Structures are given as C-alpha cells and as structure tokens.
Amino acid sequence: MRNDLTEGNILKKLIILALPIMGTSLIQTAYSLTDMIWVGQLGARAVTAVGTAGFFTWFAFAFITIPQIGAAVGVSQSVGRKDIKEIKSYIRHSLQMNLVFAILYGATMIIFRKQLIVFFNIKGADIVGMATTYLAIVSSGMIFYFLPPVLTAIFNGHGDSHTPFRINTVGLMVNIVLDPVLILGLGPFPRMGVPGAAIATIFAQFVVTIIFIFVIIKKTDYFNGLNFLQKPDWRHIGKIVRFGIPVAVQSGVFTFIAMIIARIIVRWGSTPIAVQSVGAQIESISWMTAGGFQTALSAFIGQNFGAKKWDRIYKGYFTALGIIAIIGTMTSCLLIFLPGPIFSIFISEKAVIKDGIIYLRILGFSQLFMCLEITTAGAFNGLGRTVPPSIVGIVLNAMRIPGALLLSTFLGLSGVWWSISLSSILKGLILTSWFIIFLVRHPEIKGRKIIDYGK
C-alpha cells in the first residue's frame, strides 16, 4: 500500500496524497462542528461548557503529537530509504508510546476533572457541572482518542492517505447519527444533553480504532513480526521524541495560552467563551485544510529527503504553497464578507451571533497567513527539522497574552481577537520566509536553476 513520492509528477502526487488527508482533517473538524451544531440547540451555556472541557481534549494533542510526528517522519524517511526494518521499528515504538500517554493522560483528566474546570473561573454551577461531566466521559475513552491520529500517520508515512480517509469517514457518519439521538433524545433514547455529545464522540472514535486495527491486520503487513510487548529500544524512542517534542511543546503551549486567553475573556461574561468555541470550530476548517497539506508535504518531503532528491523537495514546497495560498485567500474572504450566515448555523441567540460576527471578521484577516504557516511547518517536519516551527509558534503565541491585555484596554473584547489574528499573520510571514531562505541557501539547491515544477 506504499505510494512512492520520489518519482512522478509533483503536482499530481501532492494533490492525490493531500486530498484524502485534507478530507480526513476536515472529518476530524466535522466531529466538533457536528457536536457544536446540536449542542447549540441547548443554548449558549451548554456550548460554553463543551468549549471549556474541549480545551483539555485539545491539550491532549501535545502528547499525541510526539508519537504522531515520530511515526510520520520516521516512517516516511525509512520508506524513502527502503529500510523495512526501520519502518517497523518506528511503527512499534510510536504505538507503544501512544498507548502509555493515552492511559496516563486519561487517568489524570478523570482524577482532576473538577479542579481543571474550576481553573477557568466561569460563573454558573450548571456550566461547571456540564463541563466536568463532559470531560469525565471523554477522558474515560481517551485511548480511542489517542490511537487514530498515530495510525493515520503510519498510513500517511507510507504514502497511503486514502485508507485513513475512508476509515475516518465511517467514524464521522457514526457521530452524525448519534449526536442528535443522544443529545436531544430521539426515539427510545432519553435526552442526554451535553453528556450525549461526549458519548457520541467517544463511541465514534472507538469504531474508527477497531476498523483501523482490522484493516492493518487483514490488508497490510505493517504489524507483521511486531511484538508490542517487547521492551522499547531507547534509540528509537529518542528519535521519535526528537522529531515530535518541539511540535508537542508548541501544541501544549498553544493550548495553555488559549486557556489563559479564555480566562481573560471571562471578564466579559460567559458568552465570549461560547463565541470563541464556535468561532474556533469554524476557523478550524481552514486550519485543518492546511493541516492536510502540512501532512502531505511532510510525507512528500520526508520520502524525497530519504532518497536525497532535493530538486523535488524545492519544487514540491512551492507547488504546495501556491495551492494553499489560493485556499487561504478564499477562506479569508468567506469569514470577512459572510460571517453572519456562517456563525448562525451553529447558534441562534442574537447576542452571541453579533459577537461571533466580529470574531470571524477579525480572524478572517489572518487565514491566508495561518495556512502558509501550517503548510511550511509540514515542510520543516518532513526534513526532521521540527524546531523552527516550534520556535516561531511558541514565541508569537505567547505574545498573544500581553497583546490581548494591551489591545483590550483600547478595543475591549475585540482587542483580544486582534491579538490572536495579528500573531497568526506574523507567524505565517516569518516561518515561510525562514524556510525559503533555508532552501535558497542549501548547498544542494544553491546556484541551480530549477524549472518544470510539475515534474
């Protein structure tokens, strides 16, 4: 099921690889969007509860990312070198690490769920109660939340993005059916509200995990000869950590900063939390689309780096950048010019929609630059150079806190949204410039005249 990305038309290879990955990424977004649409029927307070608890499922990616990036980079580079032994070693060690993280993280969330929700200082016992219950349910199935991203990365590293797309589509269908049934109570099922959204999501992830395991065992040789109870080889663990830890730290810091921002906006009441929760889900459509190109470009560059084909790395990067620039521009236009119709899909309360329109318009200005940043991070990841995107991300995300405090003194709540948007613009400009300078100065590229981008 391996797709050789070191030969053939670059544009065609990238699109064939990226489209299913983008579809898979959008499916992950659709889980949350579906939840928000149906939870929105319960009112802004329920949305606030799910959004608050959602920070901790979001924070889980700081741990998922280490084995996920390790699998994606390690497998793709080993595929490029045609080293079967190394491919299997990266698969075994990334999954072993992933399972340990899932158990530890899930247990921690269950034990400290009340204290974690109280951190946000949200007024309203009903909101705190719903958020705590949601977090407890999701955490009890955390192992099914952790496994699919790493299993997806293993397939992507082999150049097979179609299989994860099909499997995750099944999970989305399960979630779409269960959400209204469990949240609102249809047929013989009682109305469960917010807990129903958590149960639907975890059950859908359970289905996805089971299908992944079945497909891997029956249709591939990925697990052949692997003993997951075998003692880890610390050399491979070290490589996975080296690949993944910068991205993981960036992800964790990003989420923690978002939590601090949430505490800041609580000064304007609980409604801004609902606005940010819904707005972030809408914004994530472009974020996850770019994430698809990030993963595709990482696999493409990883295989070509392993095969030492620098011409294809150069051409592939600029081809991907051109495509994502078009997508980012379209997304910016949609959020700036059509925020009302988009936001009102998720919630019907006029006060929330009014604030949501402001949020989407302000964040709309940064969508193009956010897409450039995410795609360029994939290029760095494919080379195994995960530090530069992390440095840019951590520093500029951290600047959102003083930026929010400063700008909000002049612009009120809008100042908080502008601090987020401006930092995304700067991240896109700086990281893209960094990678272009790296390429131009690389000894394998410097001085060459590289043409025929599609080949």
- Domain boundaries in the chain? 10-441
CB 416 within 8 A of CB 404: yes
Q: How far is 23 from 267, CA to CA, in rounded Å?
A: 37
Q: How far is 442 from 425, CA to CA, in rounded Å?
A: 26
Sign of CA dihedral 313, 21, 289, 419: negative
DSSP class of 183: I
Q: Minimal CA–CA distance to 132: which of 110, 147, 157, 107?
A: 110
Q: How far is 104 from 98, CA to CA, in rounded Å?
A: 10
Q: How far is 109 from 56, CA to CA, in rounded Å?
A: 8
Q: What are the angstrom distances between the C-alpha of 142 and each of 131, 146, 195, 334, 348?
A: 16, 6, 15, 34, 31
pLDDT at residue 455, rounded to an integer: 47
pLDDT in tens, 305-336: 877 888 888 888 998 899 899 989 999 999 99
E strand or H helix that includes residue 269: none
pLDDT less than 50: residues of the chain: 1, 449-455
Residue 218: burial class (beta carbons within 10 Å; 0-12, 13-18, 19+): exposed
Inter-residue long-range contacts of 221-229, CB under 8 Å, 24+ positions, other chains counted: 222/88, 222/91, 222/154, 222/158, 223/91, 224/88, 225/88, 226/88, 226/91, 226/92, 227/92, 228/92, 228/95, 228/96
Q: How far is 134 from 32, CA to CA, in rounded Å?
A: 13
**Helix/strand/coil percentages in the chain, nearest 5:** 80, 0, 20
The tokens for 182 are: 């469990």
User: What's the angle, vertex CA 161, arms to CA 198 and CA 100, rounded to 5?
Assistant: 50
Q: How far is 251 from 275, CA to CA, in rounded Å?
A: 22
> Helices in 310-364 by DSSP H: which ranges?
310-337, 339-343, 350-364
pLDDT at residue 453, rounded to an integer: 40
For 287-314, give the DSSP string: HHHHHHHHHHHHHHHHHHHHTT-HHHHH
Radius of gyration for the alpha carbons in the chain, expressed in angstroms and rounded: 21
pLDDT at residue 334, rounded to an integer: 92
E strand or H helix that includes residue 186: none
pLDDT in tens, 416-429: 999 999 999 999 99
For the packed helices 350-364 and 271-306, what is the interaxial angle rounded to 10 degrees? 30
The conformational region for residue 384 under phi > 0 = left, psi -120 to 50 = alpha, else beta, is left
Residue 229 CB: number of other CB atoms within 10 A? 5
The conformational region for residue 260 under phi > 0 = left, psi -120 to 50 = alpha, else beta, is alpha
Residue partners of 390: CB distance under 8 A and separation at least 6: 246, 247, 249, 250
Q: What are the angstrom distances between the C-alpha of 237 and each of 34, 70, 94, 98?
A: 37, 9, 8, 11
Residue type, 418: W
Residue with tokens 């908080």: 416
Q: How far is 424 from 367, CA to CA, in rounded Å?
A: 8
